[in-house]
Amino acid sequence: MLDRVESAPTASVADLPSTGLALLDVREPEEWAAGHAPEAVHIPLGELPARAAELAELPDDQPVYVVCRGGGRSAHAAAWLNAAGIVEAVNVAGGMKSWETEGRPLVGERYGAPPEVL
């Protein structure tokens, strides 16, 4: 489990870059399969410490925006990533629910079902 750490910087979906976004989705596999941002990297929160090295695949010259469903899990993940010095992480306020509300693109992994945020 991730240790308790201080809070992380936060950005709203409206303030995120429209292109070239480094996005980390920390939701559970079933949430990811239902609908996610096309450019996101998926590492569930509980797997983050063991898989943090995978974040090296993301650009290191910009912040990594961390997202979950509503912003709680991603806030914790972003704070942990910053405290551990792994990446410069920013929590996405409102999570994928705000992403969907703002009309940002969604893709799903479920055959025959439209993408949605669970």
Assess if residue 67 is contained within a domain: yes
Q: Is residue 4 part of a domain?
A: no
Q: Is residue 23 in some structural domain?
A: yes
What pLDDT is stored for residue 19 in this prediction? 86
Are the C-beta atoms of 76 and 93 separated by less than 8 Å?
no
Catalytic residue among 8, 66, 68, 79: 68
Tell me if residue 20 falls in helix, strand or coil: coil
43 as an active site residue: the answer is no
Per-residue pLDDT 10s for the chain (118 aa) are 455 556 889 999 999 988 889 999 999 999 999 999 999 999 999 999 999 888 877 877 899 999 999 999 999 999 999 998 888 999 999 999 999 999 999 999 989 889 999 9
The domain tally of the chain equals 1
Q: What is the CATH classification number for the domain harbouring 63?
A: 3.40.250.10
**Cβ contact 39:62 at 8 Å:** no
pLDDT score for 1: 45
Looking at the domain assignment, is residue 46 inside a domain?
Answer: yes
Q: pTM for the whole thing?
A: 0.92
Domain span at 20: 10-101
